Copies of this chain bind each other. A is one copy, B any other.
Amino acid sequence: MTTLLSGLSKVLLMGPGPSMVNEAVYKAMTTPLLGHMDEEFVGLMNAVKEQLRAVCQTANDVTMPMSGTGSSGMEACYVNLVEKGDRVLILQNGVFGVRMADVASRLGAEVDVLEFPWGTPVIPSKVKEKLAAKSYVLVGVVHAETSTGVENPVEEIGRLVRGNGALYLVDSVTGLGGIEVAVDKWGVDAFYSGTQKCLSCPPGLAPLSLSALATDKLKARKTKAPNWYLDISLLTQYWEGQTRIYHHTAPITMNYALHQALALILEEGLPNVFARHRAMHELLVAGLEDLGFTMFVEKPFRLPMLNLVTPPKGVDEAALRRNLRQRHNIELGNGLGPLAGKVIRIGLMGETARKENVERLLAALKTELA
């Protein structure tokens, strides 16, 4: 039976993720499966945990991938750490902050939202005021807002939350592996990411890390988490210790892929990886401005790996993206929510952040705008 696979286009992925994947990672996925309780696979799980600790800059025991895509990391943090009636503060300046509020509300949390205009960062002094006025069980923020291209000042916010008694939750689905993430230094208690952005691995896993304070909260829960699949108390029995207890069948192949992708990043070295993202971002911005595009976010707050641009006057952004995809096999991202139809999102994540890709995109844009 013929499948659709051989007929699929080979696309340069320059949207908001998934990003390009190194050949070594594709090859890793052809490694024959082992059983999920096999000692050799347990060895690989241990290696993945160590690699994740290195890229997240943490010594947290509970550091492991959830068996779902990035959003399952968000779900796991909230469903494990928040109980009905808990007061939660969400710092919101984009789609993923909105999603956090939805996730937390579904669990019966009392959610307060501190909003900032999309395209601008969270302002720490406003957070300070909010924290002074009310106490919270958890404060959540998105490090790298994929919907707006803004980097939030998570380290500064962390200093405010630390003195307050709340758990500090940071989403860096888009940041991890592209800009610095320092879970311990920043005082982050609950952290998650996704594999398909700057880690340059296919989507399918959500790296997650919890501090000792967060695991204390797990143990102090009054009720079981209303989610067996993502119950971290059960998952740690599979991911940690001398004797592993079966929970669910882990996505073996995705763990092979993550192991290889993390090895590539650690081999290049985190400072070099971050410098590459920064340099490709600068190359891209210069080229886009030459072509008449306007950057949506003010310079100090721009993420290198996710660039929101307004097209030159008179250019239909949807048509431009469609033409890029159809004529040049390049994927760009659309604007989300209030930004739909107004901006284009250009990703420079992981393997995508290479000079030849930036140049190919700029050349294609030049052709289309000519």
- Please give the residue numbers on chain A whose beta carbons come within 8 Å of chain B beta carbons, in ascending order: 1-5, 8-11, 13, 15, 17-18, 20-21, 26-38, 40, 43-44, 47, 67-72, 74-75, 79, 99, 102-103, 105-108, 194, 196, 202-204, 223-230, 246-254, 256-257, 259-260, 263-264, 266-267, 325, 331, 334, 336
Contact = CB atoms under 8 A, between A and B. Distances in A.
A33 B2 CA distance: 19
Q: In the assembly, how many copies of this chain are there?
A: 2
B47 A4 contact: yes
Contacts of A10: 32
Contacts of A20: 33
A330 to B, nearest CB: 11
Contacts of A102: 224, 228
A67 to B, nearest CB: 6
A68 B68 contact: yes
Contacts of A202: 33, 251-254
Nearest to A14: B35
Contact of A196 (B38, B68, B249): B249
A185 B100 CA distance: 41
Contact of A1 (B37, B75, B264): B264
B40 A8 contact: yes
A-B CB proximity, top 10 nearest: A1-B267, A204-B251, A202-B253, A71-B248, A75-B229, A1-B263, A29-B29, A26-B30, A203-B249, A103-B228
Given A71-B229, A106-B227, A250-B69, A36 B203 contact: yes
Contacts of A107: 226
A204 B331 contact: no
24 contacts: A1-B264, A2-B263, A3-B47, A5-B259, A8-B34, A9-B40, A13-B34, A18-B249, A18-B252, A20-B33, A26-B32, A29-B253, A69-B248, A71-B228, A71-B229, A72-B229, A106-B228, A194-B249, A196-B249, A203-B249, A203-B253, A204-B254, A226-B226, A253-B254
Given A67-B68, A249-B196, A5 B31 contact: yes
A256 B5 contact: yes
B9 A33 contact: no
Contact of A36 (B18, B29, B224): B18
